[in-house]
Amino acid sequence: MKYVESLDRWVRRPFDFVSFGRTLKCFGAAVFGLSIMINAHADSTPSTERPSQQAPGLPTGISRFMFSGWEGPELRVWTYVPSSLDADAPILFVMHGVERDAKRYLEDWARTAERHGVILVAPEFDERRFPGSESYNQGGIVDPGSGKKLPREVWTFSVIEPLFEEVRRRSGSNSITYSIYGHSAGAQFVHRYVMMTEPARLDQAVAANAGWYTEFDPGRSYPQGLKLGRREAIAETSGFETQLTILLGTEDIESDDRNLRADAWARAQGKNRFERGRAFFADAQVFASGGKATFAWQLRYAPGIGHENRKMAAYAADILFRRTKASQPAQVLLSVRRAQEAEQCEAAGKATRRRQGLTKSGCAVLSGYEFSVWAARQGVLQASEASVTLDQPVGIGADQELPGVTGRVFRAALIDAGGKDTRESSALQRKLDTLVERGTDLVLLVNSPTDGRVRRTGQYTLVHIPRERLARRDREAGQTFGDNNFLVALTPSPANLKMRLVIYPSMSDAAQRQSEHAGSGPEQWKPFSEAVRRIVMGTRDKIRFESGQDDQGDYLAFDVDWPLGD
């Protein structure tokens, strides 16, 4: 009974708010301290995404660990290990963008890494340990406060090679080289990493959609130029012997992106990322031509892709992992231009074609168009009514057989659509049907009002050659869609049962192309960009497009199936 009375007195007494508050405060401090201990422990162990029982190894899938094996700050590192891992599994570094979201970048690459058996490494340069762009995408070379050059050991660039060794140790990979990919701010990191250091074990690098670039100016201070101090400048090679790909999305043309540097100096490189990337590559070519180093860089495009890391990664994977032999020279170059004189075909560029092993095999004028063909073997160029047929421009001889099928030539034809579509012109459709009946495999529809696109049927491939859109006043003045020149290259690949078709939508003369500055202004890329947009986005069939720049100019390429027999 006395216990009940004591409890009754305790309940009835006045509530002590002060004591209760002190109790809550102590309890809160204990919980906060415990959470700090848990988080610290999480950073020192494999990822909470997929705990590892194989420490210090790397578990399959996504994991993370803290890396301190260099002179700079401790670094959180995200990794992805595919379910099937070879002893020589390649290692790819994935450099995140301005949001410092390394894990998301890793996830964007995970499916591709699984397919190719690649170990992914995504270092996370968080804002607390690596504040500002100076400490991340500019490589940590210069102290942002004093402007003085820092020791090389603490450059952000300097973490890559020792981190590579750590990943090799943890994963057991025997790979002696690595590759590196960066998008946006990560692309800034990558191209400067190649230029400013001499990475001993770097195999390939891809810089995708960088916002701005370090220029090849030894008199301008870094990061705008190559000057590192009063008397020190970068080596003249500037990393040109490294296999670096500048990868640009053809739709990354926004000029008002909040993350795009917009001061006068950056705008001088171009209005958008696509312009700036082209200008940077052109400047690199010019700078490299004055030295003795081998120029191993290349310019590639992701057709129809904007500022999207996940989609850019798919094109980067083709460059990094689907290594193919160097492209074989085209067996046919077909130049289409507005005829200046109806009775005479233009012979410009003959010397260039001859150096490529091509000889001029035919020329015809049709409806104001001049068709000039250079081929590695003599063919038949026939002009008839509204079409030009290349009867035997490429192929293999009758004594050379494809695997399991009888080899035969690949036949191509051009049709002047006269500004009409096959759906509205029965005469045009009959012409197309006639050519197909004669065994034509590829039909190029010139001067078509239809947006450029590719259509495959069981018998042939139809390509609407894209033309520049004309204003109404220009159409009324008599101009047509075919006023711009274009070039088509055909390269046979009988062993793969493919014909590679390459279209240069805004250039038809290699000699003219080589004499011009590749980054001389938007007029050099807008016709090409528009053509790519209309072909890629207008095509509904599943076609893998490839795009880039070579000696002939900016191109869009894809494969056409080889005919299996007559």
Sign of the C-alpha dihedral, residues 103, 100, 225, 141? negative
Q: Are residues 404 and 481 located together in one domain of the fold?
A: yes
Bridge partners (DSSP) of residue 124 are 76
Q: Are residues 381 and 292 located together in one domain of the fold?
A: no
Q: Are residues 351 and 232 located together in one domain of the fold?
A: no
The neighbour count for residue 258, using CB atoms within 10 Å, is: 7
* Amino acid 507: pLDDT: 58
Q: Which residue from 184, 185, 321, 178 is spatially nearest to 248, judged by alpha carbons?
A: 184
* Amino acid 483: pLDDT: 53
Task: Indicate the angle between helix axes 102-116 and 309-321, nearest 10 degrees.
Answer: 40
Q: Which residue from 149, 107, 154, 99 is spatially nearest to 127, judged by alpha carbons?
A: 99
Residue 164 has pLDDT above 80, yes or no: yes
Between the CA of residue 495 and those of 321, 333, 403, 441, 480, what are the distances in Å?
21, 21, 7, 17, 40
Domain boundaries, position 537: 332-561
What CA–CA distance (Å, rounded) separates 543 from 277? Answer: 26
Residue with the two structure tokens 């490839």: 546
Residue type, 457: T
Q: Are residues 392 and 469 located together in one domain of the fold?
A: yes
Please tell me whether residue 449 adopts helix, strand or coil conformation.
Answer: coil
How many angstroms from the chain centroid is the CA of residue 100? 21
Q: Are residues 411 and 458 located together in one domain of the fold?
A: yes
Residue type, 542: K
What CA–CA distance (Å, rounded) separates 390 from 112? Answer: 40
* Amino acid 211: pLDDT: 96
What CA–CA distance (Å, rounded) separates 363 from 370? Answer: 7
Domains in the chain: how many in total?
2
CATH number at residue 309: 3.40.50.1820
pLDDT tens column, 308-353: 999 999 999 999 997 655 567 777 888 877 766 545 565 545 655 6
What CA–CA distance (Å, rounded) separates 200 from 161? Answer: 8
What CA–CA distance (Å, rounded) separates 465 from 488? Answer: 10
**What is the reported pTM?**
0.81
* Amino acid 421: pLDDT: 78
pLDDT tens column, 85-115: 888 999 999 999 999 999 999 999 999 999 9
Across residues 165-193, what is the average pLDDT?
96
Q: Are residues 521 and 420 located together in one domain of the fold?
A: yes
Higher pLDDT, 230 or 489: 489
Would 260 be classed as within a structural domain?
yes
Domain stops at, among 321, 347, 374: 321
Q: What value does the mean pLDDT of the chain take?
A: 78
Q: Please, are residues 388 and 545 in contact by the beta-carbon 8 Å criterion?
A: no
Would 37 be classed as within a structural domain?
no
Between the CA of residue 404 and those of 308, 410, 494, 497, 498, what are the distances in Å?
43, 17, 12, 11, 15
Would 20 be classed as within a structural domain?
no
Across residues 353-366, what is the average pLDDT?
71
pLDDT tens column, 273-286: 999 999 999 999 99
Bridge partners (DSSP) of residue 369 are 338, 366
* Amino acid 65: pLDDT: 96
Residue 294 has pLDDT above 90, yes or no: no
Residue type, 474: D
Would 42 be classed as within a structural domain?
no
**pLDDT-based confidence at 24, cuts 50/70/90?**
very low
pLDDT tens column, 493-514: 766 778 889 988 875 443 344 4
Domain stops at, among 262, 287, 321: 321
Residue 64 has pLDDT above 70, yes or no: yes
Would 68 be classed as within a structural domain?
yes
Domain stops at, among 270, 297, 321: 321
* Amino acid 417: pLDDT: 78
Q: Are residues 81 and 127 located together in one domain of the fold?
A: yes
Please tell me whether residue 369 adopts helix, strand or coil conformation.
Answer: strand
* Amino acid 34: pLDDT: 45
pLDDT tens column, 103-148: 999 999 999 999 999 999 999 999 999 999 999 999 999 888 887 8
Q: Please, are residues 119 and 167 in contact by the beta-carbon 8 Å criterion?
A: yes
Q: Are residues 243 and 391 located together in one domain of the fold?
A: no
Q: Are residues 305 and 405 located together in one domain of the fold?
A: no
